[in-house]
Amino acid sequence: MQDRYGHRISYLRVSITDRCNERCTYCMPQELQEWLPRAEILSFEETLRLIRVAADLGVSKVRITGGEPLTRRDVINFVSRIPKTRGITSIGLSTNGTLLAREIAPGKTMAGALRAAGVESVNVSLDTLDRSVYSQITGRDFHEQVLRGIDAAIAAGFDQIKLNAVLMRGRNEDQLVPLTEFAASRGLILRFIEMMPVSTTEVLDDKNFMPVREAKRMIESRYGALIPEAEFRTNGPATYYQIPGRRQRIGFIGAMTNLHFCESCNKLRLTCDGKLRPCLGSYLEFDIMKPLRAGASDQELKQFFLDVVDRKPEQHDFRENYQPNRRMIAIGG
């Protein structure tokens, strides 16, 4: 699948739930409690069919996200069926980490079960090492659980574990170095992410926004000039660097300030309520659940994907004062 701007679509992000056990200020307002009714959420069977259709069109990498994907019942069983899809060569999962260390059978953690089910890479959100700041940001006192979750992920032996930290001025700028040291001590890739306007607007104003170039400067003032790693890419839009004098890689995701951000975009998103979104930062979404439930053939669903990809914009419109009509949690970040 290729869009009219030459983006080759090989990566499908699949949100399997709008629910979450945390309430991060930049993602989901505290007061929000209404979840989508079960009937409006794609069943795992339906989701697997859409993954199969996407794989037939050239998608090779899938990332499972949410909401918090590990809150959905039977997630392990679902994930274990993805590797059987012809064409899918890589499975990742994004999580807040709170449930990774949970024992789901004697001696078996959720992280271990995910690894055994075929997940290769895990992204864990961690914005701070300060427990009370963590509670303020996420609305929950789960910091300890997340740290245990990260250790469980390491023990599970994933090919790659990344830590994602959203940059917030006045909240976690003093955490850039501690997070870097933490990632180094565990051999993990750390990435700093610019806050995007995907939730209620009050936390997303200039006062709280911190550009990645400023985070990079702060890291450099501690460690020296970062060494660009132009050759290293995961499937996302991060720019990676080595810290001089040590084998540690860190990444920056500057959706708001990096003007070339969209050039290498290879993504399509499937929301948990069956909408295909060609771009996170645009209003465009297309309801594939309707034809799916109306009995569309694989061929018709393929055409649906192709039509959506054809509508993929050249760039996101975050910079043009984008006011989203859906929360990130429903879109699947």
Ligand X SMILES: C[S@@+](CC[C@H](N)C(=O)[O-])C[C@H]1O[C@@H](n2cnc3c(N)ncnc32)[C@H](O)[C@@H]1O
Residues at the site binding ligand X, with contacts judged by CB under 6 A: 20, 26-27, 65-66, 68, 94-96, 125, 164, 166, 193, 195-196, 198-199, 328-329, 333
Is residue 140 part of the contact set for ligand SF4 (CB under 6 A)?
A: no
Strand partners, 90: 61
Task: Give the C-alpha separation, 312 to 83, whole Å.
Answer: 27
CB of 2 to ligand X, least distance (A): 26
CB of 143 to ligand SF4, least distance (A): 13
Is residue 22 part of the contact set for ligand SF4 (CB under 6 A)?
A: yes
Nearest to ligand SF4 of 10, 145 (CB atom): 145
Nearest to ligand SF4 of 156, 198 (CB atom): 198
Task: Give the C-alpha separation, 148 to 135, whole Å.
Answer: 16
Which residue has tokens 């055994």? 116
Is residue 28 part of the contact set for ligand SF4 (CB under 6 A)?
A: yes
Pick the piece of the chain touching ligand SF4 (CB under 6 A) from 8-16, 18-26, 181-189, 244-252: 18-26
CB of 88 to ligand X, least distance (A): 20
Nearest to ligand SF4 of 53, 119 (CB atom): 119
Nearest to ligand X of 186, 326 (CB atom): 326
Task: Give the C-alpha separation, 76 to 96, whole Å.
Answer: 16
CB of 125 to ligand X, least distance (A): 4
Is residue 18 part of the contact set for ligand SF4 (CB under 6 A)?
A: no
* DSSP codes, 149-212: HHHHHHHHT-SEEEEEEE--TTTTGGGHHHHHHHHHHHT-EEEEE---S-S-GGGSSTTT---H
CB of 26 to ligand SF4, least distance (A): 7
Binder to ligand SF4 among 11, 42, 67, 115 (CB under 6 A)? 67
Task: Give the C-alpha separation, 92 to 156, whole Å.
Answer: 14
Task: Give the C-alpha separation, 275 to 278, whole Å.
Answer: 10
What's the gap between Cα 48 and its chain centre? 19
Could you tell me which residues come within 8 angstroms of residue 252 by beta carbon, excluding any fewer than 6 positions away?
Answer: 191, 192, 212, 215, 216, 238, 239, 241
Nearest to ligand X of 59, 329 (CB atom): 329
Chain contacts with ligand SF4 (rule: CB under 6 A)? 20, 22-24, 27-28, 66-68, 96, 125, 138, 329
